[in-house]
Amino acid sequence: MSTRPRQPVRHRIHRRALSLAMMLVALWPGPMLNAGEPGPRAEYLLKSAFLYNIAKFVDWSEHEGTSLVICITNDVFGSTIDSIVGKPVQERQIASRHLTSPQNVHGCHIIFIDMQDRRRATEFLTTLAGEPIVTVCDQPDCTRQGVMINLQKHEDKISLEMNLGAIQRTNLKFSSKLLKLAHILSEP
């Protein structure tokens, strides 16, 4: 007979399940996500799932509101971001918004920055510097430009690269579980 309390075991199992789920998403090949979908749509469905899972591993307790808003610059996700809208994260529900200007970032919790237009991406990063908003991109070396998280695509898989300097300039608290799954860039 075990003398361990039940709750910590349950929490350990829950934590392991969360870690396993995050690793599975990280290793899941894009085209297998939805075999009937064309490549780019499947890729952005997978990236939407990553954004949702990233939201789970950030402490949002200091942020007000009942929604957790994921904002997208340009329209790179199309309607695929809708696949996570309404899902729960820390007693909130995911909402999405498309941004047309860096001046419209108020109310965003996570912003996916399309780095294809470098000038515009730089405007967003300048506006967001030090703000408690998670910045995400999917282009090579974008974390070296100040983005917090890069969803790097390697063949049919996506991995995480995180810029600790960019994260530390905000008051956001990321779970160590997420940090363990990522390649860490410690440059400023």
Does residue 10 lie within any of the structural domains?
no
CATH number at residue 141: 3.40.50
Does residue 147 lie within any of the structural domains?
yes
Does residue 103 lie within any of the structural domains?
yes
pLDDT at 157: 86
- The mean pLDDT value for 85-91 works out to 96
Does residue 9 lie within any of the structural domains?
no
Do residues 161 and 181 make contact, with C-beta atoms less than 8 angstroms apart?
Answer: no
Total structural domains within the chain: 1
SS3 for 68?
Answer: strand
Q: How many helices (H) and strands (E) does the chain have?
A: 6, 10
pLDDT at 31: 38
Does residue 85 lie within any of the structural domains?
yes
Does residue 53 lie within any of the structural domains?
yes
The pair of structure tokens assigned to 159 is 């991995």
Tens digit of each residue's pLDDT (9 = 90 or more) over 160-174: 999 999 999 998 999
Element (H, E) at 94: strand 92-99
pLDDT at 173: 95
Structural domain range at position 110:
40-185
Res 24 pLDDT > 50: no
Torsion of CA 102, 106, 108, 112, to 10 degrees: 10
Tens digit of each residue's pLDDT (9 = 90 or more) over 106-142: 999 999 999 998 999 999 999 999 999 999 999 998 9
Does residue 29 lie within any of the structural domains?
no
Is the model's pTM score more than 0.75? yes
Does residue 11 lie within any of the structural domains?
no
